[in-house]
Structure 1
Amino acid sequence: MGPQISPQIIGSTFAAMTTAGKVIRCKAAVAWGLSQPLVMEEIEVAPPKEREVRIKIVATTVCHTDLYFLREKSSSEGFPAVLGHEGAGIVESVGPGVSRLKAGDRVIPLFVSQCGECRFCLHPETNHCNMNWSSQRPGKRYDVGSDTTSRMKCKGQTLLQFMGTSTFSEYTVVNETAVAKIPDSAPLDKMCLLGCGVSTGYGAAINTAKVKPGSSCAVFGLGAVGLAAVMGCKAAGATRIIAVDINEVKFEKAKLFGATEFINPRDHSKPIQQVLAGMTDGGVDFSLECTGNVDVMRSALESCVKGWGVSVVVGYTDTHDVCTRPLQLLSGRTWKGSLFGGYKSVESVPKLVDDYMANKLKLDEFVSHTLPLDSINEAFDLLVQGKSIRTVLKLSTGH
């Protein structure tokens, strides 16, 4: 008997043959306005243009940044849109000029690009890229394609593509500079976690803070990003990893990822930075803020020891200013920020996949719920209520 061919491979190849170059009608969760529930709609996804890739999304997750944009951002700019930026799927077709990817490849779309040619890509100390959607449209939280025309429409209206990815859709179109190719053996319902949260927190500890063996660390906020930061501190060899959160339900999960001590700020009358200073003879060596709250950012900085303490801002917000007194920095502390964990995306994400496949990186443990895409509003509610770490949304297998 000859070699057996997987039905999934056959289906993927057939789909590419029948849909390449054509508009695809598919399901997507559309955000029509600020603080409105997402609506499952039939949308149109145009073929990829030059240096673009059309991807069939197999699994995606809900990140707090999606929540922030949908329910917490003060401006109504950027609607209607298809949100989502933690996804994984299979290339359906590629546009002109794409040579690195082909139909049938398993991939992770990325909200941070890596063109490999610009000043930032060529510099070893940053993962910024001039081709990134945020560089092309400063201050925006969405992308409308490389030629300023969105590839998505619904009911005659253009749908903005959130962070250049829009993974809350059965199909999406992404620039090839923001796509990581991964092995066929990698499970897509786990790989989607590497699209943002896990990579962001883990890399913030290893790449940005550069946590050292034997050091003390404090991680503020125990969502997926914070738990990944805990995991990164442990991987870097920290001996004291203090997890800080007001939701004590998360402490047991933090212990699984390597936390050694736990603090609920509400249990103390003193500011949390003073509590930490008292526990650590003047402050921790490293702190990572993973909440997006500017008050917590200040607390995290001031919880570091003077002289050499390093604090990293990981959580996202763009509506409030962050501040501290100059003496906090004059005394020797370093305040840094981290985007996507400092990883150069296209080249680094496949290495994280390899680490997962070799049992060197936890991913399964982040998945608290699994739901179909049409239950996406439930996934948002679970996140708001603090009941989920990551909810994986599995998309239909049609098309």
Structure 2
Amino acid sequence: WTFGLILKTVCKAAVAWEPKKPLSIEDVDVAPPKAHEVRIKVIATGMCHTDWEYLYQAGKATRLRPFPLVLGHEGAGIVESVGPGVTKFSPGDKVIPLFLPQCGECERCLSPKTNQCRKNWANTQVGVMADGTSRISYMGQQVYQCLGVGSFSQYTVVSDISLAKISREAPLDKVCLLGCGVSTGYGAAVNACKVEKGSSCAVFGLGAVGLAAVMGCRAAEAKRIIAVDVNPDKFEKAQMFGATDCVNPKDHSRPIQEVLLEMTGGGVDYALECVGSPAVMTAALESTTDGWGTCVIAGWTETETMSVVVEKILMGRNLKGTYFGDWKSVESVPKLVDDYMNNKLKLDEFITHNLPLDQINRAFEYMKSGESIRTVISLW
């Protein structure tokens, strides 16, 4: 076959035409991949809380992510075609598209200090490819791709540095979760916090990111893992992932950080914030012990401001953030898939609902009501 024979394809996609409105299933055109791009047949995608944020909390961030928009950044699929210059992927490969690239050549990729490659970053943040345009359109109108991915479409096109080739045996309706939430929470514990054996931890928020953080704390052999959430229905699941204690802030008249300080005799060694709430971030920091306590922010928010009492930092606490769990995306995601295949990592347990693409708006309802941890959307 030749590049000249690759044509645009027509497929179903869930399009967000404007903020705060339900998604609409449309027949969209997906253009052929250009140089260093890959077109993917998306088999399954998770719905992440960030998708909900971009749609329903769209405020200042709307300037960054114009509409119409195909959301979704937690997908898995099969390579359908490749553009000129692509050497690492072939049609038929199983892959996970990545909202965080890894070019392997820039200063950040070559440094062990960060995973935050910035190649094509500015463009993907506004939903376009390296050339400034999207590959998805509707009746000639450009439709933007969330974070350069847009996995709520049966086909999408991504950069070849934003793609991980994975095991041919991997179940795509499970490993799609490694495209964002599970990797972020698990990495927040094992990479960003570097949780130590025998330590004490508190995880704030028991969505997919928080439960994955609990799983990471357990993998690191923490002695005590305190799960914190206002929804007690999530406690049983948290204990299954490794939590030793579960605390509902609504059960206490005092601030939750004071409760945790008393429970632990001075504070936890590690606190992980997995909500994206500035108030919870402050509580997480203040729940750590002075001298060496570390608080890692994994919950996503773009426009909020966190309040920090300077004395809390002066007394030796560490406050840091993590993006995609500090994983080097292209090289790490295939290893995480292998860990799942070898029963070293849980994924099935995160999935509470499975829905077809035409019922995708129900997934937002499940998320808003707190019924779901992860809903996986089947696109075919």
TM-score in terms of structure 2 length: 0.97
Deviation at residue 20 of structure 1 after TM alignment: 5.3
Q: Which residue of 1 aligns with 2:40?
A: 55
Q: Which residue of 2 aligns with 1:271?
A: 255
Q: Which residue of 2 aligns with 1:377?
A: 361
Q: Which residue of 2 aligns with 1:150?
A: 134
Aligned letter for 1:44? D
Could you tell me how far apart the structure 1 residues matched to 2:317 and 2:30 are?
Answer: 49
1:42 paired with 2:27, answer: yes
> Alignment partner of 1:58: what SS?
strand
Superposed CA deviations along residues 166-199 of structure 1, whole A, max 9, x for unmatched, are 0000000000001000011000000100000000
2:70 to 64, 68, 82: 82
Q: Which residue of 2 aligns with 1:349?
A: 333
Could you tell me how far apart the structure 1 residues matched to 2:113 and 2:5 are?
Answer: 39
1:92 paired with 2:80, answer: yes
Aligned letter for 2:221? G
Deviation at residue 116 of structure 1 after TM alignment: 0.2
Could you tell me how far apart the structure 2 residues matched to 1:128 and 1:286 are?
Answer: 23
Aligned letter for 1:111? F
> Alignment partner of 2:240: what SS?
helix
Superposed CA deviations along residues 65-124 of structure 1, whole A, max 9, x for unmatched, are 000000012144311010000000000000111000011100000111000000100000
Superposed CA deviations along residues 180-220 of structure 1, whole A, max 9, x for unmatched, are 00011000000100000000000000000000000000000
Contact 1:112 1:132 in 2 (8 A): no
Deviation at residue 142 of structure 1 after TM alignment: 3.1
Contact 1:20 1:93 in 2 (8 A): no
Contact 2:120 2:130 in 1 (8 A): no
Deviation at residue 269 of structure 1 after TM alignment: 0.9
1:309 paired with 2:293, answer: yes
Deviation at residue 61 of structure 1 after TM alignment: 1.1
The 1:183/1:17 distance shift into structure 2, 3 A limit, reads: farther
Q: Which residue of 2 aligns with 1:331?
A: 315
Could you tell me how far apart the structure 1 residues matched to 2:280 and 2:2 are?
Answer: 52
Deviation at residue 155 of structure 1 after TM alignment: 2.3
Q: Unpaired runs of 5+ in structure 2? A: none
Q: Which residue of 2 aligns with 1:111?
A: 99
Contact 1:373 1:394 in 2 (8 A): yes
1:228 paired with 2:212, answer: yes
Deviation at residue 19 of structure 1 after TM alignment: 10
Q: Which residue of 2 aligns with 1:289?
A: 273
1:179 paired with 2:163, answer: yes
Superposed CA deviations along residues 310-367 of structure 1, whole A, max 9, x for unmatched, are 0000001112111211101000000010000000000000100110010000000001
> Alignment partner of 1:392: what SS?
strand
> Alignment partner of 1:233: what SS?
helix
Could you tell me how far apart the structure 2 residues matched to 1:169 and 1:194 are?
Answer: 18
Aligned letter for 2:216? G
Could you tell me how far apart the structure 1 residues matched to 2:118 and 2:242 are?
Answer: 36
Aligned-pair identity (%): 59
Contact 2:38 2:81 in 1 (8 A): yes
1:73 to 58, 79, 94: 58
2:202 to 200, 215, 218: 218
Aligned letter for 1:374? D
Q: Unpaired runs of 5+ in structure 1? A: 1-15
Aligned letter for 1:220? F
Could you tell me how far apart the structure 2 residues matched to 1:155 and 1:174 are?
Answer: 21
1:130 paired with 2:115, answer: no
The 1:172/1:365 distance shift into structure 2, 3 A limit, reads: same
The 1:19/1:233 distance shift into structure 2, 3 A limit, reads: farther
Moved over 4 A (4+): 16-20
Deviation at residue 156 of structure 1 after TM alignment: 2.1
Could you tell me how far apart the structure 2 residues matched to 1:73 and 1:209 are?
Answer: 30
1:364 paired with 2:348, answer: yes
Number of aligned positions between the proteins: 377
Report matched runs for 1:161-180 at 5 Å.
161-180=145-164
Could you tell me how far apart the structure 1 residues matched to 2:170 and 2:126 are?
Answer: 28
Report matched runs for 1:4-15 at 5 Å.
none
Q: Which residue of 2 aligns with 1:320?
A: 304
> Alignment partner of 2:196: what SS?
coil
RMSD, aligned CA? 1.4
Could you tell me how far apart the structure 2 residues matched to 1:17 and 1:61 are?
Answer: 33
> Alignment partner of 2:50: what SS?
helix
2:225 to 226, 232, 241: 241
Report matched runs for 1:20-35 at 5 Å.
21-35=6-20
Could you tell me how far apart the structure 2 residues matched to 1:17 and 1:198 are?
Answer: 38
Could you tell me how far apart the structure 1 residues matched to 2:307 and 2:341 are?
Answer: 41
Could you tell me how far apart the structure 1 residues matched to 2:196 and 2:236 are?
Answer: 24
Contact 1:143 1:161 in 2 (8 A): yes
The 1:132/1:313 distance shift into structure 2, 3 A limit, reads: farther
Aligned letter for 1:50? A
TM-score in terms of structure 1 length: 0.93
